[in-house]
Amino acid sequence: MLKKKDRYNMAVVGATGAVGNEMISVLEERRFPIKTLRLFASERSEGVRLTYLDKDVFVEKLGEDSFKGLDIALFSAGAERSAVWAPVAAQSGCVVVDNSSQWRMDPKVPLVVPEVNPQDLKWQTGIIANPNCSTIQMVVVLKPIHDAARIKRVVVSTYQAVSGTGRKAMDELLDQTRDILSFKDPSSKVYPYQIAFNVLPHIDKFLENGYTKEEMKMVHETRKIMGDSSIRVTATTVRVPVFRGHSESVNIETEKKLSADEARAVLSVAPGVIVYDAPEKNIYPLPLYATGKNETFVGRIREDESIENGLNLWLVSDNLRKGAALNAVQIAEKLIEMAS
């Protein structure tokens, strides 16, 4: 467990990537109580200069002694690197908040969204998993509904921005758009097909059951975070030509009847959620307006007329913030709050 201090020695691993950059920005914005900040990335980024609170911080490469004297490390370096370096950090006495998929379903590692299951931080032993971006924004909305009416089944279709794949995917969308508008043939390197002016029903690898890894992540992670393995979840995840901000169409079946107005009332006081729902005035969540915001926006709240106890919702959140960097920083803040 983290020891109580006035300020903490902090690290960001994978600091030069899109999520790593966002982690630094969020730490800065929230005035996280940092004594020293160290930034790590791959060897090719060693010596790169980044800025934190108007001061230059130079990127270092990872080594066996990198985590000595550090209190908390936010990891955004991918599953393979996390598998190697997260245990090294934990053994050095540094608490790791890992954004990769490496530890999420490990029964010994808590998978945490602070608005949903902060109590799971009590049994962490040095590594804490940050959930998948599409799962995070969904469970902050599901939790208050589950508490009010108990969710039996969730059907979700996602519309995920290219930033979820990384900086190269964002560049590819921009380059393809320019090429098409200049009457040139676009090239595809990041995705198997052109993403500009297109949608791809394919995120991560396909599995033997016909689902993708991304879809099954949403199934398994939702149950673990919610602490209820009886919730039935099915997902279809789609990549869309949006730079930033994931959208989701969510259909929920509950045990107890919950009207649309009752759902709005429940969600209007839920932490991390903003109800943005007046379709008669064309008011509903959009990735364009969610970008740079910390909350998950929910609208198009309506009863599913095909079943007795059903709701339809439309959710949008900034996947680089709440879906990754912000959630990791919030976990670190909660660790400090619980420190003794």
Catalytic residues: 133, 246
Phi, psi values for residue 156, rounded to 5°: -125, 135
Q: Please give the DSSP secondary-structure letter assigned to residue 166.
A: -
CB atoms inside a 10 Å sphere around CB 181: 10
Q: Is the dihedral of CA 316, 75, 109, 117 positive or negative?
A: negative
Got the DSSP string for 84-147?
HHHHHHHHTTPEEEE-SSSSTT-TTS-B--TTT-GGGGGG-SSEEEPPPHHHHHHHHHHHHHHH
- Compute the distance between CA of residue 18 and CA of residue 305 in angstroms, rounded to an integer: 41
Determine which helix (DSSP H) or strand (DSSP E) holds 297, and give its type and residue range.
strand 296-303
- Compute the distance between CA of residue 324 and CA of residue 318 in angstroms, rounded to an integer: 9
3-state DSSP percent of the chain in helix, strand and coil, to 5: 35, 25, 40
Non-local (6+) Cβ contacts of 208 within 8 A are: none
